Amino acid sequence: MSEYHRLGPYVRQFLLQDLIADRNLSRNTQRSYRDTIRLLLRFIDQQHSTDPTQVTVEQVNADLVRSFLTYLEQNRTNSVATRNQRLAAIHSFCRFIARQVPELLDQVREIQSIPLRRSVVPCIAYLEKEEIDIVLATPDRSRPQGQRDYALLLFLYNTGARADEAAHTTLGDLNLGPHPSVRIFGKGGKTRLCPLWSHTSKILRNMLGPRLDGSREAPLFRNVRGQPMTRFGIHTLVKRTAAKAAQTVPSLREKRATPHTIRHTTAVHLLRSGVDINTIRAWLGHVSLETTNRYAQVDLEMKAKALETCAISQADPSPERTRIWRKDPDLLAFLNSL
């Protein structure tokens, strides 16, 4: 066994040194990579009867990785997107291995040659205005928990924050002055400043009460036990509230309501209100403008209105009534934003 390299020490270096100290990746990325390696070691243990402490780097070859990916899809019924996410984590781990053990470069190259599988990009799910209004109206605001639920849902809709971002927002991140705003820490350690509606500011003040004068490190949203809310708790809250709201608005039964659905809703509604794509990108904290452009593609209502503007009139046109699209700055701005 001495000529082989035990996998364990490299796993530890990768998770603690490379991901955290060197690359400073987000908490969710760290957990995703950790879970991938955990699943891989469990697979090796079950399928090859090898104790995780005895697994060597040499065992993790391209054939084993392909078998692992098949196991994910067939035995765990993972989607193509999840399969690709696990493979990306393995690719990253292998690049780290190659830097530490150059003699295994050929083995690593074979694993790196395993491609990500193409998948259909799902349509963006979002709520119409009347649907999000009903969701916001669902919590019982006569009770403290209902006040918290309403404030959290309104905060998500106002800011477009991810569940993890909302869970880690503190009192010190809030500015409830004349121009209210909130500082949000997003993916990759990036920070953005998001404006708050005056109504959101008022609701947050009412929810916090005396807590406003407390520690600036205290969480903005707490659960019924007074502990910081987690992203899982926020997911549960949104799902539970949407299910109750669906009793009033049947269309909600056809939609999978999550914090990310509310994030998409924020983007689409901002777009419909005339906010430009670059502002929405900064609002949501997208790195690439291409990601934000997807919202323009899903908003069929705006496209239909644009086509109506360009349509040829069936009646005899007159110079006063004909709208020439090349001289319409609003339409040009819309087309340029696509």
94 & 161 share domain: no
Query: pLDDT value at position 325?
Result: 46
Cα 79 → chain centroid:
17
Query: pLDDT value at position 272?
Result: 84
| DSSP-assigned letter for residue 59 | G
Question: Dihedral through CA 279, CA 285, CA 287, CA 288, nearest 10?
Answer: -40
Q: Check residue 223 and give left, alpha or beta (phi > 0: left; psi -120 to 50: alpha).
A: beta
306 inside domain: yes
24 inside domain: yes
Query: pLDDT value at position 2?
Result: 44
294 & 305 share domain: no
Q: In the listed set 82, 112, 142, which residue is the last one of a domain according to the structure? A: 112
251 & 139 share domain: yes
102 & 134 share domain: no
25 & 70 share domain: yes
321 inside domain: yes
CATH of the domain at 70: 1.10.150
Number of domains in the chain: 3
pLDDT at 175 over 60: yes
DSSP letter string over 261-308?
Answer: HHHHHHHHHHHHTT--HHHHHHHHT-S-HHHHHHHHHH-HHHHHHHHH
121 inside domain: no
176 & 258 share domain: yes
Residue range 104-120: average pLDDT?
A: 92
Pairing of strands 181-185, 174-175: antiparallel
Q: In the listed set 49, 83, 112, which residue is the last one of a domain according to the structure? A: 112
169 & 225 share domain: yes
Is the Cβ–Cβ distance between 189 and 134 less than 8 Å?
no
Query: pLDDT value at position 321?
Result: 46
pLDDT at 250 over 70: yes
Tokens of 308: 């109506």
CATH of the domain at 151: 1.10.443.10
182 & 245 share domain: yes
251 & 308 share domain: no
Annotated active-site positions, please? 162, 187, 260, 263, 286, 295
312 & 283 share domain: no
Pairing of strands 181-185, 191-195: antiparallel
Q: Judge if pTM exceeds 0.75.
A: no
85 & 134 share domain: no
Cα 61 → chain centroid:
32
Pick the closest to residue 82 from 68, 102, 99 (CA basis).
68
316 inside domain: yes
pLDDT at 123 over 90: no
117 inside domain: no
State which residues form the domain around 84: 7-112
180 & 241 share domain: yes
Is the Cβ–Cβ distance between 232 and 258 less than 8 Å?
no
pLDDT at 149 over 80: yes
1 inside domain: no
| DSSP-assigned letter for residue 255 | S
pLDDT at 319 over 90: no
230 inside domain: yes
pLDDT in tens, 196-248: 999 999 999 999 999 999 899 999 999 999 999 999 999 999 999 999 999 99
